[in-house]
Structure 1
Amino acid sequence: METTHLISIQQFCTHYNVPKTFINALHEYDLVEITISENENYLQTNQLNDVEKMMRLHYDLDINLEGIDAIYNLLKQVENLQSEITTLKNKLNFYKEQ
C-alpha cells in the first residue's frame, strides 16, 4: 500500500509526546481515521491539523474526549452552514445580474 500520505501513529506520538491511547480514543469517537498497512497503524496527513487542535483542546484546555467530540461536530455543522450560505449568495448574485 502507498504510504506517502500517511504518517505512522508511532512516529506521530513520539514526535508530539502523546500516548497512542489518545489517538486510539479519537478513533473510537470517529474523530480520526486510522489506516492499517503491513501491521502498522497510520494517520492520514490531511488529518494532522485536526489532531493537533484536538491535542491542544485535551491537554492544554483539559477538555475530555466527549467535549472534543461535541466541539468538532458543531464545527463541522458551522462549516457546512457557511458553505451553504456561500452557495446561496452566489446563486442570488447570479439572479441579480440577469
Structure 2
Amino acid sequence: MSGNRLLYSECLRIYEVEESFIESLRDVGLIHVIDQDDDRFIEYDDLSDLEQFIRWHYEMDINVAGIDALRHMLDRVRSLQSEIERLVGELRFYKSLQQ
C-alpha cells in the first residue's frame, strides 16, 4: 500500500473480484485506477463506492451499465433531496415573515 491508496493487486485479492469487473468500472468512470511507476493503485476514497458496486454486481447480478445508471440515479436523488431541504428552509423563512 502507498499512502492513501490500495495496491490494485491487493484490491483484487481482498475483494475477491475479477480484474475485468474493476476494469469495466474504470472504463465507465465509476472508479479511478492510478498508474504510478510500475504499480497500479485505487484511491481509498473510491473503496466505499467499489464495495457497493461489488455488492450490486455479485449479490444482485447488476451489470456495469446498470451500476452506472443506478449511481447516476442515486446522485440525482441526493441532489433533489438537498434542493428540497433548501426550498423548505426558504419556505419557513418566508412564512415566518408573514406572521
TM-score by length of 2: 0.83
Structure 2, gaps ≥5 residues long: none
Which residue does 2:50 correspond to in 1?
51
Give 3-state SS (helix, strand or coil) of 2:76's partner. Answer: helix
- My pick for the range that moved more, 32-41 or 9-18, is 32-41
Which residue does 2:29 correspond to in 1?
30
Which residue does 1:70 correspond to in 2?
69
Structure 1, gaps ≥5 residues long: none
Give 3-state SS (helix, strand or coil) of 1:7's partner. Answer: strand
Question: What's the RMSD between the two structures over aligned residues?
Answer: 1.6
The Cα of 1:68 is off from its aligned counterpart by 0.9
- Equivalent pairs counted in the alignment come to 96
Give 3-state SS (helix, strand or coil) of 1:32's partner. Answer: coil
Which structure's CA Rg is the greater one?
Answer: 2
Q: 1:85 to 1:20 in 2, by over 3 A?
A: same
Partners of 2:89 and 2:38 lie apart in 1 by 47
The Cα of 1:24 is off from its aligned counterpart by 0.9
TM-score by length of 1: 0.84
